[in-house]
Chain A
Amino acid sequence: DGGITQSPKYLFRKEGQNVTLSCEQNLNHDAMYWYRQDPGQGLRLIYYSQIVNDFQKGDIAEGYSVSREKKESFPLTVTSAQKNPTAFYLCASTAGAGGNEQYFGPGTRLTVT
């Protein structure tokens, strides 16, 4: 089955620790995105990548880092510099040129205490 997978579904960390969230897609999509969602708020873009080995900051990139070494994978690291890391993290992908429709993975709910 084609789709986007995110793991783990739930993640718990202590404050001060870095944590990496996984996002994999087998849709052969060029572009991938990371969003966070907080209660009562819309999705906010963290980072995006339109091609392998290239990525751009979104609206709230501070405290996060990403890599795009393979077309299928776009991991997100939440660093200790992120002041409010507890949130629902969503990965999405789109076919890229000519295709604007973004499809989402199931999400990772991160809790930092």
Chain B
Amino acid sequence: QKEVEQNSGPLSVPEGAIASLNCTYSDRGSQSFFWYRQYSGKSPELIMFIYSNGDKEDGRFTAQLNKASQYVSLLIRDSQPSDSATYLCAVNTAAGGGNKLTFGTGTQLKVEL
């Protein structure tokens, strides 16, 4: 079982819709959770992080964390073509120590006009 799992996609949504990206993790001791956006050929950009159960909102982005079910999700409201990218989920696992992150393989999002 992979430590951090994401559906590779592509996930296609129409412009203006809500995009929902999901991530599950295996280490119950995980404390910190991150979402990165990566455009093709570019480096990952941190867009959200969440440490506590529940929702965290920042503009059009909402991160949701459920530690009991070991999943974290990212909602993008009013999706725009510029949101088309690969979204990487990263988890700071207890086994890793320090500030090491384990990354999922990413979900490709396509926002269609």
* Beta-carbon contact of B34 and A102 below 8 Å: yes
Interface residues in B62-113 (C-beta closer than 8 Å to A): 88, 90, 92, 98-101, 103-106
Contact residues on B (Cβ < 8 Å of other chain), bracket:
20 to 34
Contacts of B25 in A (CB 8 A): none
Tell me which of B32, B44, B45, B99 has the highest count of chain A C-beta atoms within 10 A of its own C-beta. B99
B103 touches A42 (CB 8 A): yes
Residues from chain A with a CB closer than 8 A to the CB of B45 are: 104
- Cβ contacts under 8 Å, A104 to chain B: 36, 43-46
Which chain B residues lie closer than 8 Å to A41 at the CB level? 105
Q: Is B60 an interface residue (CB 8 A)?
A: no
CA distance A46 to B100 in the complex (A): 11
Is A25 positioned at the interface, with any CB of B under 8 Å from its CB? no
What's the minimum C-beta distance from B58 to chain A, rounded to whole angstroms?
A: 13
Which B residues touch A90, using CB under 8 A?
A: 43-44
Contact between chains at A100 and B32 (CB < 8 Å)? yes
Q: CA of A58 to CA of B49 in the docked complex: distance in angstroms?
A: 23
Q: Are A101 and B46 in contact (CB under 8 A)?
A: yes
Interface size class of A (residues with CB under 8 A): 20 to 34
Closest-CB distance, B109 to chain A (whole angstroms): 16
CB–CB B43/A42 < 8 A: no
Task: Give the docked Cα–Cα distance between A43 and B99 (Å).
Answer: 15
- Say whether B49 contacts A101, CB under 8 Å: yes
Whether B46 and A102, one on each chain, are in contact in the complex, defined by CB atoms closer than 8 angstroms, is yes
The closest CB in chain A to the CB of B51 belongs to A100
Alpha-carbon gap, A48 to B92, bound state (A): 14
Residue-wise interface mask of B (5-16) relative to A, using a CB-CB cutoff of 8 A (1 in contact, 0 not):
000100000000
B43 in contact with A96 (CB, 8 Å): no
Taking Cβ atoms with an 8 Å cutoff, the residues of A that contact B are 31, 33, 35, 40-45, 48, 50, 58, 90, 94, 96, 99-107
